[in-house]
């Protein structure tokens, strides 16, 4: 085991026994939602994974230690501290470890730590991707590179709709990452169920997802697999409403000079504000939906 890694006892016991485990990110706790909603949601997501037959492993960096599985007190700490905890992507891990610092893990870093711990399935809200205007800014999320090289299945509600979804799919295709639609032929767009862009394959059961991922691992592919799971119909937002909010948020970000790793948290918070909080409830429900699917798939994979 990596000397910088701490695996929580419950998670370690499950892995040793071959029982299903699902990784969870921590950026959603410290940067994605306000306190105390962030802590309530994190604990509810963990319970949802347990209710569906798997063990949750929320991942973070605390005191320079890579953590696979957090205590309730550690989740509370991340939630209360909020953006006082660094948003940690791949490039940040060496500095955080060397300095004994804290970090809330993005999709990319959660994949890295999950893989080090031997966890193969990870549930999140939405992945990062190619930002709008990337042909000028080169703003492309490290999540896409991680999917190309780290053997973890990521279950999400598609790429965040603040992104350029067409270019995100093109990038994933270039990197050889299979994009699977769960019960859909179309890429979900986070707050909405459809984007107008097709996925590579449609799958209709957790057993089929597990079989596909098992085959990928047996073929020794270097990268992971992206499973896109549409937000439940009753929580999906009106596309015109969400598109208008995103366009306004993008204009305000540009006017304020928001760039780099601060872009996504700013845009998501602004969309919550512009939609009167409706997007926050949608965000919570899609994460819970992804947790259920990830747990059921992990259970099939462990058989």
Q: What is the DSSP string of the chain?
A: --TTEEE-HHHHHHHHTT--EEEE-SHHHHTSS-TTHHHHHHHHHHHHHHHTT-EEEEEEEETTEEEES--HHHHHHHHHHGGGSEEE-GGGHHHHHHHT--EEE-HHHHHHHHHHHT--EEE-S-B--BBTTHHHH--B-HHHHHHHHS--EEEESBB-TTB-HHHHHHHHHHTT--EEEES-SB--BTTBS--S-B-SEEE-SHHHHHHHHHHHHHTT-SS-EEEE-PPPGGGPPPHHHHHHHHHHHHHHHHHHT--GGGHHHHHHHHHHHHTTTHHHHHHHHHHHHHHHHHHHHHHHHT-
Choosing from 25, 46, 76, 146, which is the catalytic residue? Answer: 25
Specify whether 186 is catalytic.
no
Choosing from 87, 160, 261, 270, which is the catalytic residue? Answer: 160
**Cα gap 23→237, rounded to integer Å:** 27
**Cα gap 167→54, rounded to integer Å:** 34
**Cα gap 158→5, rounded to integer Å:** 29
Specify whether 259 is catalytic.
no
Q: Beta strand 86-88 with 179-182: parallel, antiparallel or unpaired? A: unpaired
Going 292 to 294 to 300 to 302, the CA torsion angle's sign is: negative
The catalytic site residues sit at: 25, 160
């Amino acid at each position: 085991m990596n000397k910088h890694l701490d695996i929580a006892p419950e998670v370690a016991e499950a892995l040793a026994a071959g029982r299903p485990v699902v990784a969870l990110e921590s950026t959603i706790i410290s940067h994605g939602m306000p306190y105390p909603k962030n802590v309530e949601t994190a604990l509810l997501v963990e319970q949802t994974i347990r209710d569906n037959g798997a063990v949750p492993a929320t991942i973070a960096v605390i005191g320079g230690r890579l953590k696979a599985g957090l205590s309730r007190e550690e989740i509370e700490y991340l939630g209360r501290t909020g953006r006082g905890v660094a948003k940690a992507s791949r490039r940040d891990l060496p500095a955080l470890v060397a300095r004994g610092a804290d970090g809330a893990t993005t999709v990319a870093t959660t994949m890295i730590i999950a893989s080090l711990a031997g966890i193969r399935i990870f549930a999140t809200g939405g992945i990062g991707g190619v930002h709008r205007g990337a042909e000028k800014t080169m703003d492309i999320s490290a999540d896409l590179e991680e999917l190309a090289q780290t053997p973890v299945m990521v279950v999400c509600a598609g790429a965040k709709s603040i992104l350029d979804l067409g270019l995100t799919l093109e990038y994933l295709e270039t990197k050889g990452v299979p994009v699977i639609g769960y019960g859909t032929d179309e890429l979900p767009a986070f707050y909405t169920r459809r984007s107008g862009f097709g996925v590579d394959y449609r799958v209709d059961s957790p057993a089929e997802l597990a079989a596909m991922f098992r085959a990928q691992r047996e073929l020794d592919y270097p990268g992971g697999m992206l499973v896109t799971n549409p937000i439940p119909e009753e929580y999906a937002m009106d596309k015109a409403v969400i598109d208008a909010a995103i366009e306004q948020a993008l204009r305000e970000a540009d006017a304020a000079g928001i760039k780099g790793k601060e872009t996504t948290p700013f845009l998501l918070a602004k969309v919550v504000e512009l939609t009167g909080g409706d997007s926050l409830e949608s965000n919570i429900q899609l994460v819970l939906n992804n947790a259920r699917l990830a747990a059921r798939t992990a259970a099939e994979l462990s058989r």
